[in-house]
Structures are given as C-alpha cells and as structure tokens.
Amino acid sequence: MESVQAIKQRFGIYGRSEKLNQALDTAIRVASTDLTVLISGESGSGKEVFSKVIHHLSPRKHNQFIAVNCGAIPPGTINSELFGHEKGSFTGATSDRKGYFETADGGTIFLDEIGEMPQDTQAYLLRVLESGEFIRVGSSKVLKTNTRVIAATNVNLLERVRLGKFREDLYYRLNTVPIRVPSLKERREDILVLFRKFAQDFAEKYRTSPIELDEQAQELLLNYTWPGNIRELRNAVEQLSVLSDKKNLSVEDLVKIIPDIYTTPLPAINRSDRANEQTGFYEREILYKLLFEMKQDLNQLKNMFVQMVQANDLHMPVSMENISSAIPYFSEAPVHTSAGWTGTPPVKSEFDIHDSRPIIIPRKKEDFEAVELMEEQLSIDHMEKELITKALKKYNGKRKDAAEELGISERTLYRKIKQFDIEL
C-alpha cells in the first residue's frame, strides 16, 4: 500500500494538513475493496480527486471511470443517462442507448452532488447497490452490472433525509465508508503552499515570472474564509497572475481581485453540517466572544448587587427596581432564640442557614466605606489583548494551542503579541 506522501505526489495533491492526510489515508485503505464510499465536503474542496485516487488504486483501475454530476442532469433524463433506454421509449429516443452503469461495468461511477438526485432515481440506484440489477427506460428486461459507486455531496444528507428529500435506506447504503474532505478554512496551513503552486503553474502557462505576496497580503490571505475553497483560490491566483502589472503584490492588489477579502462572517452554527461547527473565530470574532462573556459577567454582578442591597436594607436605585421585584428577599435575617425562630421562618427564607449561599448580616449605612467607581476599558484593542492573554495563560504560553483556541493563525497571534507587548 502506497504512503500518503507518495499518493500526494502521484495525484498532484498539495498540503500538509492533518485532516487532509487522514482523509487520504482512509481513501487509500478502502481503495482495494468494493465498498461504497460517500465523500462529503464543501463545494470546491476537491472531492472528485479523492474518487480518482480510490479508483486508480483499486483492482478496477484498468476499467472505466465515469464522473456524473447529478445536479447538472435534468430530472426527466437522468434515468436514461444512468440506466439507458430503449428505442421509442420517449420522444427523441431514436435508438437503443446504454446508460453509465452499463458502460462502466467492471469499473467505477462517481456520482457527484448525490443529494440533488430525484427520488424515483434514488429507488433505482438503491436496487443497483443492493443487487447490481437495473432496467433500461422503456424496457422490462433486467440487466446486471458490476460497478462500484462512489458518491459525493456538499450538503448534509441526514438533514435531507429528515426533510423527506432523500431516502434513508439509500443514505445508509451509500455511507458504508464516509470520507470528509476538509475545507480550505480548516487547513489554513496549506493556503500559502497552494498559492505558490498555482502561481508557479500560471507563470509557466503564461510564460511570465510567478507572483509573490508581501507579509501583510499573506496574512490577509490566511484570514480570509475562502467560501469557494481551492477552486476560488486557484481562480484568484490566475486573475492576479494575468491582471497584475507587478509581481510582488500588496493588500491593495488582493482587494482588487477579491473584494470580499476583508469580510469575516459572524460566528454561527452551520446547520448543514455539525462536523463543521468548529469554524474558528478571527480578529473580529474575538470581540464578539469577549462581549458575550462580559454580558454574562455583568448579569452575575447585577444579581449579586441586588441581593446585597436587599439583604442589607439599602436604598435601591430606581433603574434597578424592576430587577429587584423579580428577586425575593427579606429585610430581616431570621434569628434563632430559645423561644424559636424570629423574623421570617427559615423554611421560606431566601437566606436559610441550610442554604449553600452565605448569609449577609445587615449593617448600618454609615458602616459602609466610600467606593470609587472605575470605568472599565471597552476599546477593541484592550479586549483583544485581554482575550489573547487569557488564551496564552490557559495553555501555559503555548502559542499554537492558543491560536487554535482563538481561531486565528499563529502568524496573526505573533503579531498581536508583539503589538500589545504581551509578556509570556
């Protein structure tokens, strides 16, 4: 069995991401079998390359490999395309025609965008997977095929099953061996590697010198979300190679080709794929995360303040009265004497001696010392510095772990440490 590195060189796969290596390792291991494989991943992440790896490493490598985009074939003709048809079975059927499953007998069929397949076609595909049998459109003769199926999807098939748009039995039949191809934002360490490779390729194609990026442009490239993944990166490099007059590009040059490169999405749950939920926070998201934590802290402090005021029979500010009405309190703490309990019965007391919370003993107002209120710094830089410091402290100064926790690149973390003069 060939190594992952050898497969990368053979099929022109670039990158050192651990997630990419794991996906390739699974593809290599399953290639020698006839198991059905379901490849999932975002559009443009390179799912078809994995299907070719599986086919060319399998015993079927000398037979047909056919790639079919299920989303690009009209629903009215997809059955004919996959299973063939008989002459006269529909308007325009002037002769018998073999379908892809018949043509690829002994080989491999790659069904891309399987989630777009019509439901009646799903039933026919399920029969092929279970028994190898199919029927041409307009025929009653059962035919057999020995074709391996590799499917791919950029949507959550389980969600489509829940919505009744995809057969559950077909999903589990396809998902015998799942392979998830990581998106480009999950393998940021590969972005500059791919950029240099594409730049070199286009330099050779257009007979010019390869483009390069200055440090700020590299950082901007690393922090971009790349919704179109490798396909978008490749297109951007080609445009930069053709349209740029200079070869050492700056941030301004990137913005001309990728206008949305400064756009960073708000943190949100990706409902289409829970496995992608960890998308990371970038510089702007650090602020949102910190503000959310501050809101929680403020709510806790507010509740503590209200309880202390009420327990000590202090004057409540008008702006806080609506909060105090929602929190039960007792003006006098219950006291136990020889005659029993005085004041509020202990059973109903919010500050029962059996309660896990401490009892606050009432004091006179003159016993309290004056307190100077300090205004908290709310600048973005201050909050970024505080959150970065917390992350570094959490991981004992390990920058790689801290960068992963914050969802930023190590390069960005190094720059921020230097910018804010953070001591490690």
pLDDT band at residue 404, thresholds of 50, 70 and 90?
Answer: confident
Is it the case that residue 365 has pLDDT exceeding 90? Answer: no
Yes or no: say if 235 and 194 are a contact pair by the CB < 8 Å rule: no
C-alpha–C-alpha distance, residues 333 and 359, integer Å: 8
For the chain, state the CA radius of gyration: 32
Q: Higher confidence at residue 369 or residue 99?
A: 99
Mean pLDDT of 320-345: 47
| Residue ranges of domains in the chain | 4-182, 185-262, 286-333+346-366, 380-420
Highest CATH level, class, for 4-182:
alpha beta
Strands 340-342 and 65-69, bridge-based pairing: unpaired
pLDDT in tens, 260-294: 776 654 444 443 443 343 334 445 566 666 776 77
Query: Position of tokens 């230097």?
Result: 418
C-alpha–C-alpha distance, residues 217 and 256, integer Å: 12
Q: How far is CA 210 from CA 28, 80, 143, 195, 202, in A?
A: 33, 47, 54, 10, 7
Q: Higher confidence at residue 351 or residue 230?
A: 230
Which pLDDT does position 107 carry in this prediction? 96
Query: Which residues is 148 bridged to in the sheet?
Result: 108
Domain 380-420 belongs to what architecture?
Orthogonal Bundle (1.10)
Name the fold adopted by 185-262. Helicase, Ruva Protein; domain 3 (1.10.8)
C-alpha–C-alpha distance, residues 209 and 70, integer Å: 40
Model confidence pTM above 0.85: no
Q: Higher confidence at residue 331 or residue 96?
A: 96
pLDDT in tens, 186-223: 999 999 999 999 999 999 999 999 999 999 999 989 98
- Secondary structure of residue 182 in the 3-state scheme: coil
Q: Higher confidence at residue 277 or residue 343?
A: 343
Q: Higher confidence at residue 273 or residue 258?
A: 258
